[in-house]
Amino acid sequence: MSQDASKPSDTPQDTGTGAPPSRKSAWAAGGVTFAGVLMGMNGILHILQGIAAIAKDDVYAVVGDYMYRINLTGWGWILVMLGAVTAVTGWGILTREAWARLTGILIAALSIIAQFMFLPYAPLWGLIVIAVDLFVIWALSVYKPDTAHA
């Protein structure tokens, strides 16, 4: 018996290369979706973190002698701007925009640098955000849109 061409099949679809899609490409497609969600949430949290730094200087501990010392209002504005761009890029990744993948890698790298410099104010949070950004960079780097199926 042959299957009707209009009915979906349970077998993997051809990727155009003659081979069925690998588990690796399925993981990459899922990883990029998760990276988009993480970037969107990370952007919103950066904005909230920035607003807290702008609104009250007593939210974060005062840092003594730190090499990368910037006042908290300055950090607040940096985080608000970075957060807005991060959230928009996360949305672009979720909607599979062509510009969003490379932009996401660059924004996640900038976020790592910003969080490293912000470590004295929020050390545990900074390390968590750095780990999330590393995952985002990995997920966006391994994703190949021509071979992965969403």
Q: Is residue 27 part of a domain?
A: yes
Per-residue confidence band for 55, with pLDDT thresholds at 50, 70 and 90? confident
In a domain, 12, yes or no: no
Domain count, the chain: 1
**Model confidence over 71-84: pLDDT tens digits?**
778 888 998 999 99
Average confidence (pLDDT) over 9-18:
47
Confirm whether 88 is domain-assigned: yes
Range scoring the smallest mean pLDDT among 6-10, 63-67, 111-115, 137-141: 6-10
* Residue 18 belongs to a domain: no
Quick check: is 83 in a domain? yes
Range of the domain at 63: 23-142
Q: Are 110 and 56 in contact (CB under 8 A)?
A: no
Is 9 a member of any domain? no
Closest C-alpha to 49, from 129, 137, 135, 109: 129
CA geometry: angle at 106 spanning 105 and 110, to 5°?
Answer: 120
* Position 14 in a domain: no
Each residue of 66-125: pLDDT tens digit? 666 677 788 889 989 999 999 999 999 999 888 999 999 999 999 999 888 888 878 888
Residue 134: inside a domain, yes or no? yes
